[in-house]
């Protein structure tokens, strides 16, 4: 029994000594591999996301100023994600307002009076339906006041069902995870405490004052 315990202590001690003498590059490689495996697994488990985009354009009416259309396009881009527009869009999209609020984004151009409405979903057909529903509702709300704004909002391009996912592939998430793991490993090497010198070696070297006292006593 005592022999088994002593063998276990010796094996654990040798394992600790090997871990202490492990080169820094081994730790970096281990954390990079672990991060790559976790990132790749995340890319496989997470459902793919699809993004569809529709476009509307602001044009001046007969009494409108062409330069005013650009300013109204910027305003319509901000209004598109408001509750007044999304409340009507939910009926055509077949999803709750909360889903539209979290899935729909808009973008405008400083050079063209155009608004891009993008919707993201785990289903490609639903992404297109949401984008088209929001642009339809936005167009109706904008044209209700075109008599006073002298700017009309027209559909420029409908959203089509995307054929490929917009979310990153498992290979990309694996590379991101490997990079993050390598970075964490490098940071752990920088912050870990350095090993001090062996006390036995430092104790065997007398200080100058001690050496002088010893020679004086002689």
pLDDT per residue as tens digits for the range 190-203? 666 555 545 554 55
For residues 95 and 126, membership in a common domain is answered with: yes
Average pLDDT of the segment spanning 86-92? 93
177 pLDDT higher than 90: no
**pTM above threshold 0.75:** no
Cα–Cα dist 150/26, whole Å? 68
DSSP state of 169: P
For residues 56 and 129, membership in a common domain is answered with: yes
So what's the pLDDT on residue 12? 46
Average pLDDT of the chain to the nearest whole number: 76
For residues 75 and 109, membership in a common domain is answered with: yes
So what's the pLDDT on residue 54? 96
For residues 74 and 146, membership in a common domain is answered with: yes
Q: Is residue 16 part of a domain?
A: no
Which residue range is the domain that position 182 belongs to?
26-46+169-187
For residues 41 and 107, membership in a common domain is answered with: no
pLDDT bin (cut points 50, 70, 90) of residue 13 is very low
Please provide residue 45's backbone torsions phi and psi, each rounded to the nearest 5 degrees. Answer: -75, -40
So what's the pLDDT on residue 147? 86
So what's the pLDDT on residue 218? 52
For residues 145 and 174, membership in a common domain is answered with: no
Q: Is residue 123 part of a domain?
A: yes
Cα–Cα dist 17/24, whole Å? 15
So what's the pLDDT on residue 108? 94
Domain finish residue from 157, 178, 201:
157
For residues 59 and 74, membership in a common domain is answered with: yes
31 pLDDT higher than 70: no
Q: Is residue 10 part of a domain?
A: no
For residues 128 and 180, membership in a common domain is answered with: no
So what's the pLDDT on residue 65? 78
Q: Hunting for tokens 């891009």 — which residue is that?
A: 116
Cα–Cα dist 197/190, whole Å? 19
Sheet of 104-108: strands edge to edge?
A: 104-108, 114-121, 50-60, 151-157
Q: Is residue 96 part of a domain?
A: yes
For residues 54 and 151, membership in a common domain is answered with: yes
Cα–Cα dist 11/1, whole Å? 15
So what's the pLDDT on residue 7? 47
For residues 120 and 31, membership in a common domain is answered with: no
Higher pLDDT, 15 or 49: 49
So what's the pLDDT on residue 61? 85
Count of domains forming the chain: 2
pLDDT bin (cut points 50, 70, 90) of residue 46 is low
So what's the pLDDT on residue 99? 95
Average pLDDT of the segment spanning 168-181? 63
CATH of the domain at 78: 3.30.70.1130
For residues 152 and 176, membership in a common domain is answered with: no
165 pLDDT higher than 50: yes
For residues 130 and 88, membership in a common domain is answered with: yes
So what's the pLDDT on residue 132? 97
């Amino acid at each position: 029994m005592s022999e088994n315990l002593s063998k276990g202590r010796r094996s654990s001690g040798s394992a600790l000594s090997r871990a202490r003498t492990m080169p820094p590059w081994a730790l970096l490689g281990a954390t990079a591999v672990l991060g790559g495996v976790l990132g790749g697994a995340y890319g496989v488990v997470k459902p793919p996301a699809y993004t569809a985009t529709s476009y509307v354009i602001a044009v001046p009416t007969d009494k409108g100023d062409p330069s005013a259309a650009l300013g109204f396009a910027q305003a319509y881009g901000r209004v598109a994600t408001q509750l007044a527009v999304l409340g009507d869009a939910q009926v055509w999209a077949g999803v709750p307002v909360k889903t539209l609020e979290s899935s729909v984004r808009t973008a405008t151009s400083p050079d063209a009076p155009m608004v891009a409405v993008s919707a993201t979903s785990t289903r490609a057909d639903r992404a297109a339906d949401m984008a088209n529903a929001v642009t339809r509702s936005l167009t109706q709300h904008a044209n209700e006041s075109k008599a006073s704004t002298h700017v009309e909002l027209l559909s420029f391009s409908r959203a089509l069902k995307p054929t490929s996912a917009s979310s990153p592939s498992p290979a990309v998430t694996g590379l991101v995870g490997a990079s993050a793991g390598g970075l964490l490993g490098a940071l752990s090497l920088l912050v870990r405490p350095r090993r001090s010198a062996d006390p036995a070696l430092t104790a065997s070297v007398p200080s100058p004052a001690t050496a002088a006292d010893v020679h004086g006593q002689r």
